[in-house]
Amino acid sequence: MASEQKIRQVLDLLTVAPAAQAESLRAVHPPAAREHSKSLRDLILLQDNIVGVGISEKISKGKKVNKLALTFYVEKKIPLQDLRASDAIPPTVPESISGKTAIPTDVVVVGKIRPQGDPFITRHPVQPGFSIGHKNITAGTLGAVVMKGKDIFLLSNSHVFADSGLGKKGDAILYPGPADGGIDPADRVAILEKFHPFVNTLKFVNEVDCAIARPTAAGLAKINRQIKDLGLPKGTIKAKRGMKIVKVGRTTRKTIGEIKDVNFRTQITYEGIGKIGFLEQIFCTRYSEGGDSGALVLDQATGKAVGLHFAGSEEGSMCNPIDTVLKHMGVKLVLKDNVGAVKKALAKKKAAVKKKAPKKS
């Protein structure tokens, strides 16, 4: 079995700067090694699908086989028959490079690796796309400003606003979320109004992970209804396989993806609650990371809302269908065509707040 040190030498050989590598090959490696290492180096450098290379324990048929491997991290798995021979990763490192001890290779799908900028954190304005959260959680994303009659609310997930249902009506919602420096009461911008309780079962029966919060007077005065970098949603639309989507979230900011499945079923573990089974979820290519929960997901072509992001894994990202969310919360999105009504409602609220405020002497 090849040692980690030996695999590291091969890794260095394949990934060091060209000049240094050429020198070292001239000195110690025969021509066959030079040729093989060049083809592997070309594979690493030129194949767009390979996003990284390293050393890890080899996994075969889902099980660790107690051997270290030279691991190629790829964006997606491509069937062998769809690859040119020169683009296929060999099962072992050629003997001319590894020596007599075979070094196995492994391929691990990690998805697209994106540079991660600073998270979206601010205290002013209170705007969809930025960090927010219940006082007892880390942080999620403010998804949208919504209306119920003339009342204005903030929309996000239950696990962002209601601590997955462990919170209670009136709990403080901090902006930014506690993990981003939000403290109570200084950063309290809203209080929990309503959440949809989970049915605690492994059966696929839950439809949504959503909650709304009522802005405080101070929160209300700071609201900007436009989703950061996206503007106002232009309505809602039913999800379709193949639809290109876009969202702005606290962690990965503006990202795009594609809907793969509109009736996805999954069991998700919520801390302090247990495993919850969901049905009819929208499963997409990966567009998110932890902290993006609550982000509104829009159809890229029309700018209409399609879902409320809530979960993810290396396999992809997932959102609740937005119409189901709005139905459960009994609210409407603030859209371009009802923005006038919102402006009036906000002005009225702000005037009322001003009237209530004690006069300075």
Partner 1 sequence: MATEKEANLARDQHADSLAELGAHSIGVDEFEHEGKKTFGVVAYVEQGSAGFPTHLSIRSGKKETQVPLLTKIASPFKPE
| Residue 345 CB neighbour total at 10 angstroms | 18
Count of residues touching partner 1 (by CB under 8 A): 42
Distance CA 51, CA 194 (A): 43
For the chain, the first-to-last Cα distance in angstroms comes to: 83
Which residues within the stretch 23-52 sit at the binding site for partner 1 (CB under 8 A)?
none
Q: Which helix (H) or strand (E) holds 209?
A: none
Tokens of 319: 């959102």
Residues 250-279, mask of contacts with partner 1 (x by CB under 8 A): -x--------xx-xxxxxxxx------x-x
From candidates 54, 55, 290, 332, binder to partner 1 by CB under 8 A: 290
- Give the pairing type, strands 131-134 and 140-141: antiparallel
Segment lying near partner 1 (by CB under 8 A), choices 59-67, 166-174, 228-236, 324-332: 59-67
Distance CA 344, CA 269 (A): 42
Segment lying near partner 1 (by CB under 8 A), choices 37-45, 124-132, 171-179, 288-296: 288-296
- Give the pairing type, strands 131-134 and 172-174: antiparallel
Q: How far is the CB of 310 from partner 1 (least distance, A)?
A: 6
Q: How far is the CB of 5 from partner 1 (least distance, A)?
A: 30
From candidates 185, 315, 336, 347, binder to partner 1 by CB under 8 A: 315
The burial class, CB within 10 Å (0-12 / 13-18 / 19+), for 162 is buried
Q: How far is the CB of 236 from partner 1 (least distance, A)?
A: 22
Nearest CA among 157, 175, 167 for reference residue 136: 167
Q: How far is the CB of 262 from partner 1 (least distance, A)?
A: 9
**Nearest residue (CB) to partner 1, 21 versus 164:** 164
From candidates 134, 188, 253, 309, binder to partner 1 by CB under 8 A: 309
From candidates 120, 153, 195, 283, binder to partner 1 by CB under 8 A: 283
From candidates 48, 66, 100, 314, binder to partner 1 by CB under 8 A: 314
The burial class, CB within 10 Å (0-12 / 13-18 / 19+), for 72 is buried
DSSP secondary-structure letter at 139?
-
Q: What is the largest CA-CA distance in the chain?
A: 90
Segment lying near partner 1 (by CB under 8 A), choices 174-182, 289-297, 299-307, 320-328: 289-297
**Nearest residue (CB) to partner 1, 37 versus 293:** 293
Tokens of 273: 């609650």
144 binds partner 1 (CB under 8 A): no
CB 275 within 8 A of CB 72: no
Task: Give the residues lining the site for partner 1 (CB under 8 A).
Answer: 61-63, 79, 140, 157, 159, 164, 202-204, 209, 241, 251, 260-261, 263-270, 277, 279, 283, 288-293, 309-315, 317-318
